[in-house]
Chain A
Amino acid sequence: MGRVLYLSLLSFSMMVLFQNCQSFETAQVKEFSSQCHAKIKNKILAVGGWSDSECSNLNHYNCALKVYKPYVSSASFKDVQCMELDGSQVCFDVDVDTHDTSSLLNNPKIIDDDFVEGGNFNRQEYRCMQTGIVQGGQPLIIEVADSLESAFSLARKTCRQGVRL
């Protein structure tokens, strides 16, 4: 009952905010822009209204990894990755995209620093998305970090900004 209530309240809040945002848009651009999404995200988090179980349930998260490194095989696959969380081990099905950046080694616009560990073309990014809270069909909360644990912790922390019940 509580979950239904907060989802209803959330839907109403998002509908109002979404309509406000749309009213500023021209005929050429119908979609929710990235900047508008970011603004409304902050407003929805400030209002909140969901319970902590929305944020603590691990099934409410999807995580993905993007790897940009020279000489890796470019591929997309699912991988089970585990981490320590609150003293116990938890695992996620992570969608992994790997991209070989080695051909950029000969690009005159690229500098050597781009290929040192952590450089523009020798890096990895984890993103975790909270799937239960959406606006305009898009997830409200996506956080990025250099490790699965950090990305998930950030997403959960952001989610908890809106816990009111």
Chain B
Amino acid sequence: MKKLMLAVALLFIAESIRANVLWSSTGNTPPRHRNITLENGAPCGVGTPVTPTLMNSGKDIQLEWEEFIPQNGYFEIYFSPANDANWVLLKKIDNIVSAEDLNKTFIIHKANIQLPDVTCEACSLQIIQTVTGTVDAKYFSCADIQITGPADKTQIDPSSNQCPE
């Protein structure tokens, strides 16, 4: 049945706008939706926030994301305290695809980050994949989180990677 659908689909010329990085549905930060988002849908694409994953402020956590069709570039992980805005860069990770991985179409990546020392009820984590080339391509995925627990500060550390207003 799947092959039949595929054959029918291939009869048409493709016209679509999707992409290839997602927070892992089996990791600590499941994606808000599975439609991966391009630049024109940034920062989080279509979909309303879902029930957030509960986390503790300042804690080290392991993040997991899925890359489809591995390509050279880098990943950036951002935190938003509310409303998918005021993104703060938490980590940047180079993505150099090995010869072995070039033959794969699916890779699960993992990285540890330290959550900001804040509390927030509707915050989000975003991953951006940049595929470098003649024209760079960017793909986006967001996850909803809630940060509880003791926090001395309600503002993000000003020494963090925050852009100016």
Say if A and B assemble together: yes
- Chain A interface residues (CB < 8 Å from chain B): 20-21, 23-26, 29, 31, 33-36, 38-40, 62-64, 66-71, 95, 97, 99-101, 103-105, 107, 109, 111-112, 115-125, 127-129, 138, 142-147
Q: Which of B12-20, B48-56, B145-153 contacts A (4 or more CB under 8 A)?
A: B12-20
| Chain A: CB-nearest residue to B162 | A24
| Closest beta carbon of chain A to B110's beta carbon, Å | 16
Cβ A112 vs Cβ B68 within 8 A: no
Cβ A123 vs Cβ B78 within 8 A: no
Please report the C-alpha to C-alpha distance between residue A31 and residue B94 in the assembled complex, in whole angstroms.
12
Given A26-B161, A34-B138, A62-B135, also A101-B69 (CB < 8 A): yes
Cβ B161 vs Cβ A64 within 8 A: no
Cβ A115 vs Cβ B5 within 8 A: yes
B74-116 near A? 1/0 per residue, CB < 8 Å: 0010100000000101001000000000000110000000000
Cβ A119 vs Cβ B18 within 8 A: yes
* Chain B residues touching A, range: 35 or more
**Which of A69, A121, A138 contacts B68, CB < 8 Å?**
A121
Q: How many residue pairs between the two chains, A and B, have CB atoms under 8 Å in the bound complex?
A: 148
Cβ A122 vs Cβ B14 within 8 A: yes
**Which of A26, A105, A123 contacts B18, CB < 8 Å?**
A123
**Which of B12, B36, B43 contacts A120, CB < 8 Å?**
B36
Contacts of B137 in A (CB 8 A): 64, 66, 125, 127, 144
Contacts of B92 in A (CB 8 A): 29, 31, 33
**Which of A20, A67, A107, A143 contacts B39, CB < 8 Å?**
A143
Given A95-B133, A105-B6, also A117-B161 (CB < 8 A): no
Cβ B135 vs Cβ A117 within 8 A: no
Main secondary structure of the interface of A (DSSP, over half): mixed
Cβ B38 vs Cβ A128 within 8 A: no
Given A35-B163, A95-B133, also A123-B34 (CB < 8 A): no
Given A104-B105, A144-B38, A146-B15, also A36-B163 (CB < 8 A): yes
| Closest beta carbon of chain B to A154's beta carbon, Å | 8
Contacts of A147 in B (CB 8 A): 15
| Closest beta carbon of chain A to B125's beta carbon, Å | 13
Please report the C-alpha to C-alpha distance between residue A39 and residue B43 in the assembled complex, in whole angstroms.
12
**Cβ < 8 Å to A, chain B residues 141-165:** 158-164
**Which of A62, A119, A129, A143 contacts B40, CB < 8 Å?**
A143
| Closest beta carbon of chain B to A82's beta carbon, Å | 16
Cβ A144 vs Cβ B2 within 8 A: no
3 smallest CB-CB distances across A and B, nearest first, come from A123-B16, A118-B16, A64-B135
Cβ B9 vs Cβ A122 within 8 A: yes
Given A118-B18, A142-B135, also A70-B106 (CB < 8 A): no
Point out which of B16, B40, B138, B159 has the most chain A C-beta atoms below 10 A from its C-beta: B16
